[in-house]
Structure 1
Amino acid sequence: MTRREQGSISLWLVTSSLVMMILVGLAVDLGAQVHAKQRVHALAAQAARAGGQEVQNGPAAEGRYLAVSAATGRTAAQRYLTAAGVTGTATINDGDTITVTVRDTYRPKFLSLIGIGDLPVTGTASARLIRTIGGNEQ
Structure 2
Amino acid sequence: MSGDDRGAVSVLVAILAPALLLLVGLVVDAGGMVRALQRAENVAAQAARTAGQAIDLPAAIGGGIKRIDPAAATQAASAYLSRAGATGTVAVADDLQSVTVTATITYRPTLLAAFGYRTRTLTGQSTARLINTN
Query: In 2, Cα distance between the equivalents of 1:11 and 1:66?
Result: 72
Where in structure 2 are there 5+ consecutive unaligned residues?
Answer: none
CA distance in structure 2 between the aligned counterparts of 1:58 and 1:2, rounded to whole angstroms: 91
Hey, what's the Cα distance between the residues in 2 that align with 1:83 and 1:124?
17
1:55 maps to 2:60: no
- Determine the structure 2 residue equivalent to 1:135: none
Report whether the alignment pairs 1:45 with 2:45: yes
Q: How does 1:1-138 map to 2 (within 5 A)?
A: 6-93=6-93, 94-132=95-133
- Write the distance in 1 (CA, Å) between the matches of 2:123 and 2:76: 20
Structure 1 residues without counterparts, runs of 5 or longer: 133-137
Q: CA deviation at 1:56?
A: 0.8
- Alpha-carbon distance between aligned partners in 1 of 2:84 and 2:106, rounded to the nearest angstrom: 13
RMSD: 1.7
> Could you give the per-residue CA deviations for residues 19-47 of structure 1, whole angstroms, max 9, x where no partner exists?
11110110000100100111111111111
Amino acid at match of 1:17: A
**TM-score (normalised: structure 1):** 0.87
1:47-96 Cα distance to aligned partner (Å, 9 max, x none): 11111111012332233312100001100100111111211111101311
Q: Distance in 2 between matches of 1:76 and 1:36?
A: 22
SS of residue paired to 1:127 = strand
Query: Percent identity over the alignment?
Result: 38
Tell me the TM-score normalised to structure 2 length.
0.89
Q: Structure 1 CA distance, aligned partners of 2:15 and 2:132?
A: 64
